[in-house]
Structure formats: structure tokens, C-alpha cells
Amino acid sequence: MTSHHPEEPEATVPVPHLSQGEQQAETTAELSAITRLYELSTRLVLSSGLEALLEEVLHAVIELQGADFGNVQLYDPVSKRLTIVAQQGFKQTFLDCFRSVSVHERSACGMALARRERVIVFDTETDPAYKTYRHMAVLSGYRSVQSTPLFTRAGDILGMLSIHFRLPHSPSAHELRLTDLYAKQAAEMIERHRMEEELKRTNEALQKARADADVRLQVFQLILDRLSNGVFLVQGPHLRLLLANQAATTLWGAAWPQGQPEEEFLHQHGIQLLTPNGQPLPPEDLTGRRAMTTGETVLHRQLVICQSDGTRLPVLVDAIPFENLSLLSRPLSALPPTERVVLLVYQDVSTLKAAETLKDQFISLATHELRTPVTIIAGYADRLLGRSARGGEYGLNEWQREKVQEMKQASWQLTSLTEDLLDVTRIQAGEFKLELRSVDLVALTERVVRRIQATTDRHQLAFHTTLSQLWATVDAIRIEQVFSNLLSNAIKYSPDGGPIEVILEEHAETHEARFRVRDQGMGIPHAQQVHLFERFVRGENVRASGIRGTGLGLYLCRELIERHGGQIAFESEEDVGSTFFFSLPCIRAVQ
């Protein structure tokens, strides 16, 4: 038995001297083989019938070498076995024996598979390596066999081309060279066929995936259209619309075409987004853009949609970002799939606002009606305490003075509550006004800190700043109200006492005054933090501790700061403490 690499036949089989006639015959045979290979190549491009093409290659090699039988096997890299796919001249006994051949078997094709090179068995009767299959050779009627591996361009095994002879046979170098050409052609056929099959499977899978995506999208759209809230799916920095439900058109008063950027749609139809105070929302502050840019969820943002005919709809907006959505189908695939996607939900709260207006009107009426009796009670309490201080027949004993003092304190608390309620109703009714003037924020802060410090012995208030003056145009009374609320909260929710810091800095780049109020108190539970600036919201921990409050102070703080053109936020950890931040536009600072 001999074996060698298909590209080096000369190393194993010597090349004898050929006569002119033999050379002419070889040239003719080679030309015929090349012509046949060309025809096969043409058929390969036009046909996808692999077995028929392989049978033609096999027939050509059998004819070339004068063989009597032959077969082509394909290799399965998973099972690591060869399986016959084309054959010529064999009986069923042979086909059953060699239907599946592994790398460990001592047949010619098995050994060629193991060695990754051609194996030639000159005579099966005398070759000791073929002893195992000698009986099968006798039954099948062959005495010689050669097996040539088929390789991919990358050098991976594809299959095997084997031919068999009734008599012992030694191929010439010329025959082996042409056999290698046919083997290469067969390998290209197999590789191309597998690529086409893989492409076909991929296309079928893609079509199925697209069909499934279309179904999911239709179901998703059907669900969205049943919702009363306006729902939009937008993508990319320009907030191009991917899909929207029917309620969305009602909200805008116009249909938003798929693929159009939000800002362009709003401008085209004369639609405005306003803050609750009626101020136009800058394009860079669009809710979807904020979620798209930061990747953070925005919940319950209050806005007003002003339609082209002037109709105003108060809405609550949620914006939920996603890095990718697999449900996008063909109509949406023109957009880059890697861009972030944001789900926008607009809830029309007109009915709720109407009910809230009635409630606010009631609170306003009740508050106004309370002011007079509360003022009278406080006035009488002051007069009683004043007379008692002067002595005489109108003097009060200790128990009486204590009760009148409690009455005065209660009337002061009720006055403070009524003022807060009046501020809330003015804000909700759009009747709240600021009295703006130039104010030194350093002096204002120092004044408030001193006043609040006088109300507590268990807390140490400290004001830190490197500025001697910092001027801003503000309503001084309202900014003092913000400080009073924040510092009173810091004291109230630090029942064990401790330090409270107020820090003032100037941010020159944005021309802002930035404040921090830090305590080491009870902190705010995480579950309540998202709603903390809403009306009547208080932390569960302070409720459980029996600390009294209305839940209006922080709502008023946010409204007052935002109406000054500033922002307010906080960081808090339960049982560790809270830090509230707020900023105000400033004019100039003096170090």
C-alpha cells in the first residue's frame, strides 16, 4: 500500500520516459479532462443537484484511470464519519459494509481520512494493511483501490473520492494529477452546496424570525391600541418614531408619521409641550431626549400638551429606555439596531386635574375661612400672656400660662399650615407671583441659619462658604421659606440631634449659586424617594416614628426653586442621613 499528499504525486510514483505518441495521448487526455472540468464548473453554477454532479465527477475519474467501480463519501464533522452519497458499479453488500466509515477503520478510505492523504492499495490480496476488508474485496470483485481526500479551501476534510479496480493497479503520475483536479472540483461542489444549504437555512430562519416578529409586532400594536394612554416607541438621539397607538393621535391632535423626529413633528403641526407653569419646554429638555441621553428612567413628569387649536391637555409622562428591542420588524429595520430605544407613555390627566381643581378650591375656601378665627385665637393668647406678664388682678397662674402658651403654639402651627395650603392653591390656580429684587444670598443664608438655630439646642447648624457676597435676583421671602423648610425638616427628622451643614458655592461656568443642606438624620426610604416632591408625601419611617407633618414643605420647595429658574434634588440613605441640593441663577459673587 502507498500513500501520499494529493499535491505531490511525483514523490511517490516515478515518472517514466514517454514516447511522442504517449505524450500526445496524455496531452489529449488532459485537454479532455480540463474541458470536462469546465463543463462541470458551468453546471455547478447553474445547478444545485449535488449528487448528480458528484456522480459525473466520479464517472470521469473512473473513465480516466480505467477503473471498474467507485464512490464518493461526505464527511460529517459531528459524528466524524464518512457516508456514501454517489457510487458506480457496487453491489448492495459493499454499500452496506461501507455505508458509514470512521477514522479508526482500516479500509482505504478510513486510513486516508485518518492520515489526511491519499491511500493507494495496489493489491488487496497481498497488502497486509487491507487484511480486515480482504473478504469484502473478494465479494465485491475488486483487487485494487485508491482513496483521495477532499478538502475545503481552509484545509478541512469534506469527503472522500475512491475508485476500485478488478485487477491490481498502479496509477501514473499523470492520472493522479488529473484525479487531483477532479477531486478539487468535487470539493468545490460540496463546499458550494453546503454554503448554499446554509444560506438557505439562514434565509428560512430569517424569514421565520421576521414573520414571528411581524406577528409579535401586530399583537403588540393591538394591545397598545386598546390602551387609553398614548404610547410611543422612539429611537436614536432625534427621537424618531418607531410605532405609536391610536390614543397617541388623540393626544397630539395629529398623526405622527413613522420615522419622523419628534421635534420636527411638533414644529410641523404647531404643537407645544409646556411645563405645568405654562412655560415652553426647550427641545433639549424633552422627556424622551432626557431618557435617551442619560439611559435613566423618567417617571410621572408633569407636562401640558398645547395642540395647534389651543387645546391644552395636562399629562403625566413616563420614559423608559431600552438598549435594544428584538421585536423590531422589517418596516423598522432601516434604523440602526444599536441605537437606544425609549418607550414613552403619556397619560391624559384632564379628569384628575378637574377633580383636583375642585379639591383645591375647597381647600382654598376652607383655608381662607380658617385664617380669621385662627388670627383671633392667636391675638387673644398674646393679650392674655401680656397681661399676665404685667401681673395684677389679671395675672395667670403657672398652669394657665402653660395652657395659653400651648394655645398660642397651636394657633401658630395652624397659621403656618393655612399659609402653606394657600400657597399650594395659588400655585395650582396659576395665581402665584414672585416679588423679585436683588438679594445677597450669603447674608440671607446667614440670617436664616441664625434664626433656625435659635429654635433648637440639640442640633448644631453650621454655614460654610468662601464668598463674602453672592448676589441674585430672587424673592427673598420665598427663598427664606425654602431654607426654613429644609432646615426645619433636617431638625425634625434628626430626633437625636447632631450637626446640620449648609454649604454655599458659586458655579462660575453656569452662573449658578449652589446650596447643600446636609443632615445625619433618619434618611428617606428608597421606595418613597421618587415621589418625595409631590404633595402630601411623607416617608414611611417618619410616619412610624410619630413625627408630625403635612407633606407640603418639599413640594413648595420644588415649586419655589423651579419658579426662580433653579433646580432641586437630593441624596438620601435610610438611617444615615440626607443631603438636599438646590441651585439658583446668580448675578455676581464677591470673594
In which band, very low, low, confident or very high, does the pLDDT at 375 lie, cut at 50, 70 and 90?
confident
586/584 Cα distance (integer angstroms): 6
* Segments of 36-174 assigned E as strands: 69-76, 81-88, 100-102, 118-121, 144-151, 157-165
Give the three-state DSSP class for 94.
Answer: helix
424 pLDDT higher than 90? no
Q: Kind and range of the H or E element at 235?
A: strand 230-235
Q: Hey, what's the cell of 9?
A: 504525486
Q: Which of 26-30, 204-208, 343-347, 559-563 has the lowest mean pLDDT?
A: 26-30
DSSP string, 295-336: ---EEEEEEEEE-TTS-EEEEEEEEEEES--TT--GGGTTS-
Instruction: Show Cβ contacts of residue 304 under 8 Å, excluding neighbours closer than 6 positions.
Output: 273, 274, 275, 276, 278, 312, 313, 314, 315
In sequence order, which ranges of 226-282 are alpha helices (DSSP H)?
A: 246-252, 262-268
C-alpha count within 13 angstroms, C-beta hemisphere, residue 519: 26
460 pLDDT higher than 90? yes
What average pLDDT does the segment 246-262 reach? Answer: 91
- For residue 108, give Cα distances in angstroms to 14, 240, 253, 504: 22, 65, 80, 90
β-pairing, 577-585 vs 512-518, is: antiparallel
pTM: 0.45
- For residue 481, give Cα distances in angstroms to 439, 477, 497, 554, 572: 15, 6, 22, 11, 22
CATH fold for the domain made of 227-348: Beta-Lactamase (3.30.450)
In this structure, whether the domain defined by 437-590 belongs to CATH 3.40.50.2300 is answered with no
Write out 388-447 in H/E/C secondary structure. Answer: HHHCHHHCCCHHHHHHHHHHHHHHHHHHHHHHHHHHHHHHHHCCCCCCCEEEEHHHHHHH
In which band, very low, low, confident or very high, does the pLDDT at 336 lie, cut at 50, 70 and 90?
low
User: Which contacts qualify for 7-15: CB closer than 8 Å, 24 or more apart?
Assistant: 7/180, 9/173, 9/176, 9/177, 9/180, 10/173, 13/170, 13/171, 13/172, 13/173, 13/176, 14/173, 15/173
Higher-confidence position of 83 and 358: 83
DSSP state of 128: G
Which CATH number applies to 2-194?
3.30.450.40
Rounded to 10 degrees, what is the CA torsion of 536, 538, 542, 548?
A: -20
Q: How many CB atoms lie within 10 A of CB 372?
A: 9
Q: Helix 441-453 to helix 476-492 angle, to the nearest 10 degrees? A: 40
pLDDT at residue 388 in the model:
72
Q: Which of 47-61, 66-80, 300-314, 490-504 has the lowest mean pLDDT?
A: 47-61
- For residue 422, give Cα distances in angstroms to 195, 370, 413, 483, 568: 77, 11, 14, 19, 22
Which residue from 545, 544, 563 is spatially nearest to 555, judged by alpha carbons?
Answer: 563
pLDDT at residue 379 in the model:
79
| 3-state class percentages of the chain: helix first, strand second, coil last, to nearest 5 | 45, 25, 30
Mean of per-residue pLDDT scores for the chain = 84
Residue 108 and residue 134 in contact, taking contact as beta carbons nearer than 8 Å: no
- For residue 71, give Cα distances in angstroms to 54, 68, 80, 230: 9, 11, 18, 68
Residue 396 and residue 404 in contact, taking contact as beta carbons nearer than 8 Å: yes
pLDDT at residue 284 in the model:
83
Bridge partners of residue 304, in order along the sequence: 274, 314
What pLDDT digit, counting tens, does each position of 539-550 carry?
Answer: 777 777 777 777
pLDDT at residue 405 in the model:
79
Domains 2-194 and 227-348 share a fold: yes
Backbone phi and psi for residue 409, each to the nearest 5 degrees, phi listed first: -65, -40
Which residue from 171, 208, 189, 155 is spatially nearest to 62, judged by alpha carbons?
Answer: 171
In which band, very low, low, confident or very high, does the pLDDT at 28 lie, cut at 50, 70 and 90?
low
**Domain extent listing, the chain:** 2-194, 227-348, 354-429, 437-590
In which band, very low, low, confident or very high, does the pLDDT at 34 lie, cut at 50, 70 and 90?
low
